[in-house]
Amino acid sequence: MDRLITIIGPTASGKTALAARLAYALDGEIISGDSRQIYRRMDIGTGKDLSDYVVEGVPVPYHLIDVAEPGYKYNVFEYQRDFLVAYEDILKRGKTPILCGGTGLYVESILKGYRLQPVSENKELRASLASKTLPELTEMLKQYKSLHNTTDVDTAQRAIRAIEIEEYYKNNEKDAVLSFPKIDSVLIGIDIDREARRRKISARLKSRLEEGMVDEVRGILDSGVAPDNLIYYGLEYKYLTNYILGNLTYEQMYSELEIAIHQFAKRQMTWFRGMERRGFVIHWINAEKKMEDKISEIMGILKRF
Question: Which residues are 189's β-sheet partners?
Answer: 8, 284
SS3 119: coil
Q: Give the Cα-Cα-Cα angle 113, 114, 118 (nearest 5 degrees).
A: 145
Predicted pLDDT of residue 134: 86
**Contact by Cβ (8 Å): 179, 115:** yes
The predicted-structure confidence for 110-168, as pLDDT tens digits, reads as follows: 998 766 666 778 888 899 989 989 888 888 888 876 654 555 566 788 788 878 877 87
Average pLDDT over residues 233-251: 97
The answer for residues whose C-beta is within 8 angstroms of residue 236's C-beta and 6 or more apart is: 44, 45, 46, 208, 213, 217, 257
The predicted-structure confidence for 57-74, as pLDDT tens digits, reads as follows: 999 999 999 999 999 989
Where residue 49 falls (left for φ over 0; alpha for ψ -120 to 50; beta otherwise) is left
In this structure, is the dihedral angle defined by the CA atoms of residues 257, 51, 43 and 292, taken in order, positive or negative?
negative
Alpha carbons within 13 angstroms on the beta-carbon side of residue 193 total 5
Where residue 234 falls (left for φ over 0; alpha for ψ -120 to 50; beta otherwise) is left
The answer for residues whose C-beta is within 8 angstroms of residue 21's C-beta and 6 or more apart is: 55, 291, 295
pLDDT bin (cut points 50, 70, 90) of residue 176 is very low
> If we measure between CA atoms, which residue out of 82, 32, 34 comes closest to residue 53?
32
Quickly name the fold that domain 4-116+177-303 has.
Answer: Rossmann fold (3.40.50)
Mean pLDDT taken over the chain? 91
Q: Give the Cα-Cα-Cα angle 207, 211, 215 (nearest 5 degrees).
A: 130
Q: What are phi and psi of 213, to 5 degrees?
A: -65, -35
Predicted pLDDT of residue 194: 94
Average pLDDT over residues 245-250: 98
The predicted-structure confidence for 75-105, as pLDDT tens digits, reads as follows: 888 999 999 999 999 999 999 999 999 999 9
> If we measure between CA atoms, which residue out of 268, 35, 305, 92 comes closest to residue 184?
305
